[in-house]
Structure 1
């Protein structure tokens, strides 16, 4: 009996010792795991802060975490994709803008020519169903509009080609009527001192918004859109003119422009001819529509810059900071540069809507470099621009829907100005 009791006692002690050792081992294991976990967390934080790697989120249970997954889907829809500079506003200096006297009527796709302190503003859409057929004059020196007079009945109402020699204004082609009606090949000369009109030989075929300039005694007309309003034209014609008269009875064919299309700036500086920006394609009349209702077609906006040299060959120059169109009268020469105000760029990749431009772009003819020199009060296309006494002016066009929406909305007649030092 004694031996049996002693044996039981030894067995019981052994069990207690074994349990105690197990407990000590578990405590040591727990302490090590905690230390390892803290070290691992510290390393993960350091790795995130000091590397380009992205740590993926933990996997979630398909059943228990279904609400979390649904929330993740919703958050993904709310994410705004970062767009390229083509569709985003470019960084630019903030300018101080002063609102001047509003134009007598709002205009879209109108035309403008500056002669000294006067800005002659022609035609344009009032609405898509109504077009203007008169000229308004803005006087930069006394900030007034006045001197309204009518255009010839046969003259186009939008998409005009236009240039001046300092007294006479030469007008070619354009669209006759509202919506997306057809073009006209009629050409005219306006004597701004007498307000008298006379006609010139018509172009071989009509065009919409061709690039137009006076260069070396000849009136040059290039590109634009063909008779269907959409197909880009490459043809280039010229005719000799002097003192408000055509010296030839027919237009002469010249070297075609490298890329066709309407709505581009065209300028002569230091005896060189430049063509800037533009687009391929445009709205077309809806087939069978009795009012020639406009129907959207695919358009490609570009920022190409070309110069015609002494050998009558086109030379490609550095492109614009972003593609830009609807700028045929949205420019001014300031010192040794051209400044271009607003316009349109490529369609927004998500909304598929037209995207307006809200910057002032500068091209220096000496350095052949582009700069962004200022922001406008809002984004705007087909604006009409003048420069007088150190001040840059713009009026009319179609502005954006607001600071966060670059799509076009309201046709305006507002006049703004800002001091521009280049």
Structure 2
């Protein structure tokens, strides 16, 4: 029998400790395989071509020394950080391009909306913080590169997750979320006359939606997809209404062919008289049950890179997908030389850390060849950025940027604006 304090263990204790170690190892392995195999929310099955989940991981440790001066009482001499690296979640190879920083927007904003009309860039609403939303429009002038002018929005108009389109004078703002945190959506729709700065109202949608794909096409305002009233379930509905000179020509919305895959935060583009929807996601944050402030609660999401085109108005055709799944890009695109340019966005959450992964690539979809390519890299990774193109310059502003070069998860909401000279061949 071992003497007290001798440091030896009885066989029974050794067996017990070994059993604990084996049990923990089994739990960790089971959790790893569960995370790796989970790729869609309940009731949602991704297409058979969905092959973005990684098959291997590389674990690395990095040590960083602190700055010379530290607050008193801080005894940490070395900061240990763990990063899980994998090619699926690493930045894609991209040419280096030079960016010039321009005047910052009057306010930082996340999940805002934007429309460009000639040399004026209209920036709408958005979160300032999770507890504060904007209810006005800021205007940027590309000719003199200055911010100037502010338009107050109707009190009843949504503050984020808007659908938006323009005919060159009138801006149509559709549905969206009313208020901060994860409050409910509204089905009310408004029109801004950019010449008179006056607002009018359109017939309400049949039901509210968050961040639906929205565009003017062949004389009709189309609204499709988005998230349903619970903010999480993808909507497949598609409606349209005839509009002209900022007014509806019909009293009610017409039901159109459903979109093949629902969900919010996708680009919606009209090019060559064709209507396209690009990227997006299924699932989103929801309000925490019983919360008096509708506090946001994380739910499972699936980002995708699907591209669909509405052919002849009566059927959807699937086109080549984006190089990566990409969401939060509804106003992050421009058309240049018969190509669609998309800047930034979000891809799938990391399966180990569960953190959101932001994108900093500049993507190009050539409408002649129907091929995607990566043509550059942004100053940092960022989502819900607002893009424009003027006089050979590609601009972007606002959104939520990354935590730094080595951490692609989101952190700070910004109002920064950058531009780069863009020449496509």
Please give the range of the TM-score, normalised by the shorter of the 2 chains: 0.7 to 0.9
Which residue is equivalent to 1:335? 337
Which protein has the bigger helix share?
A: 1
TM-superposed CA distance for 1:77, in Å, is: 6.2
Alignment partners' CA distance in 2, 1:155 and 1:333: 28
Structure having the higher Rg: 1
Provide Cα deviations, 1:57-107, integer angstroms capped at 9, x if missing partner: xxxxxxxxxxxxxxxxxxx9647765133x110000111000000000000
Q: Say which of 262, 265, 273 aligns to 1:260.
A: 262
Provide Cα deviations, 1:135-167, integer angstroms capped at 9, x if missing partner: 000000101101111000000000000000000
Structure 1: state its 5+ residue gaps.
1-75
Which residue is equivalent to 1:381? 383
Which residue is equivalent to 1:112? 114
Aligned pair in 2 of structure 1 residues 311, 249: CA closer, same or farther (>3 Å)? closer
Matched, 1:84 2:87: yes
TM-score (norm 1): 0.81
Which residue is equivalent to 2:209? 207
TM-superposed CA distance for 1:268, in Å, is: 0.4
TM-superposed CA distance for 1:231, in Å, is: 0.2
Which residue is equivalent to 2:305? 303
Which residue is equivalent to 1:370? 372
Alignment partners' CA distance in 2, 1:88 and 1:287: 36
Alignment partners' CA distance in 1, 2:133 and 2:264: 19
Which protein has the bigger strand share?
A: 2
TM-score (norm 2): 0.80
1:210-221 matches, within 5 Å, as 210-221=212-223
List, as ranges, runs of 4+ consecutive aligned residues in structure 1 with deviation greater than 4 Å: 76-82
Which residue is equivalent to 2:12? none
Matched, 1:272 2:267: no
Equivalent pair of 2:182/2:294 in contact (CA under 8 Å): yes
Alignment partners' CA distance in 1, 2:243 and 2:313: 21
How big is the alpha-carbon RMSD for the aligned residues of Structure 1 and Structure 2? 1.1
Secondary structure (helix, strand or coil) at the match of 1:342 reads strand
1:128-277 matches, within 5 Å, as 128-277=130-279
Alignment partners' CA distance in 2, 1:82 and 1:244: 50
1:402-413 matches, within 5 Å, as 402-413=404-415
Secondary structure (helix, strand or coil) at the match of 1:145 reads strand
Alignment partners' CA distance in 2, 1:183 and 1:160: 10
Alignment partners' CA distance in 1, 2:265 and 2:60: 36
How many equivalent pairs are there?
346
Structure 2: state its 5+ residue gaps.
1-57, 62-82
Secondary structure (helix, strand or coil) at the match of 1:107 reads coil
Matched, 1:414 2:416: yes
Alignment partners' CA distance in 2, 1:204 and 1:224: 14
Aligned pair in 2 of structure 1 residues 196, 78: CA closer, same or farther (>3 Å)? closer
